[in-house]
Amino acid sequence: MSGGAQAHLIESTDGIYYVVKFTSNPQHPRILINEWITSVVFRHLGISTPDTAIVNISPDFIHDNPEVHIQHSSSRSPPICGSHFGSRFPGEPGQTVVYDYLPDTILRSVVNLADFRGVLVADKWLGNTDSRQAIFTRLPGVCSPPTFLAQMIDNGQMLDGGHWRFKDSALRGPYFGKVYQHVRDLEAFDPWLTAVAIFSGAILKEAFQQVPSSWRYGATEAAFETLVDELMRRRRRVGDLICACRADAANPFPNWL
C-alpha cells in the first residue's frame, strides 16, 4: 500500500482482508497505538471508519510470503512475528473498487459527507499532523446516479505520530476537497464539538489497555496518562482551532458567514 508506514494488504485466516501496519514500520511503533485510539474516538463520535483488528503474523506466514517486507534505503527486512494493526479493507480486492479520491463534482453523491465535518473536529482535537485521508466505495444496489460511502483512514500521525505532542497549524486537518460547502458558522460542527467537550478520558485509557505490549515501545502508562491530561485540556480549544483555518489563504469554508 502507499504511504510512509509501508502497510500491506493481507488476507486473514477467516478470509477478511486487512490493511496491516507493522510495529517495525519506518515511522514509529506508536503509530499503531494512534490508529487504535483514533478508531475508538471515531466510533464514539459516530464517524465512519473501517473496523480494526489486532493481526497476528506467524513465522510460517513470513516464510511463505517473502514479498511482505519493510523497504529500507538499501535493504529490506521482513516484519517481526507477533501482533500488528489491521484496518479492514471494504470488500475483496479485485471485486470491490475503492477510491482514494473523488472529483468535487461527485463528492455531493457521498451519503455521509457530514462526517468530514466530524473528522475535522477529531483531527484538530487529536493533533493530526498529516492531511486527512479517506476512501470511498459505491453503495450496493444504487446504479444511477452512483452513491458513495466515505470512510476515514490512515490516522497514524494523530498526536504528531511517534512524538506524542501537539503542533497545531491551520493547514493541518481540513480535507482537500469541497466537503465544507454547507459550513456557515461553527454550529455546523455540532454535535461533534459538544461530544468532544465532554469526552471521557477513561475511554482513551481503556483503549490504551487494549493494545498489545509489543506496540508500547517507549509508551509507558505514565506517558499516555500525561497525553490524556493534555487532551482533556484541549477539548474546549477545538472550536478555536477550527476557526483559525479561516485565516489561512486556503480557507476551506467558502460559505462561512
pLDDT of residue 143: 66
Closest by CA position to 176, among listed 251, 247, 122, 106: 251
Residue 142 banded pLDDT, cuts 50, 70, 90: low
pLDDT of residue 141: 76
Residue 210 banded pLDDT, cuts 50, 70, 90: very high
Mean pLDDT of 168-180: 91
Residue 154 banded pLDDT, cuts 50, 70, 90: very high
Between CA 171 and CA 245 the distance in angstroms is 7
Q: What is the pLDDT of residues 24-60, one digit of tens each?
A: 999 999 999 999 999 999 999 999 999 999 999 999 9
In the block, cell 467558502 appears at 254
Q: What is the pLDDT of residues 185-198, one digit of tens each?
A: 999 999 999 999 99
C-alpha cell at 173: 486537518
Residue 63 banded pLDDT, cuts 50, 70, 90: very high
Q: Per-domain residue ranges for the chain?
A: 8-247
pLDDT of residue 2: 87
Mean pLDDT of 218-246: 94
Say if residue 130's pLDDT is above 70: yes
pLDDT of residue 93: 93
pLDDT of residue 218: 75
C-alpha cell at 15: 478470509
Average pLDDT over all residues of the chain: 95
Measured at the CA of 124, the angle between CA 122 and CA 54, to 5 degrees, comes to 45
Q: What is the pLDDT of residues 72-123, one digit of tens each?
A: 988 999 999 999 999 999 999 999 999 999 999 999 999 999 999 999 999 9
Peptide bond into 145 cis (omega under 30): yes
pLDDT of residue 145: 79
Helices (H), 110-234: 115-126, 192-197, 201-210, 221-234
pLDDT of residue 170: 87
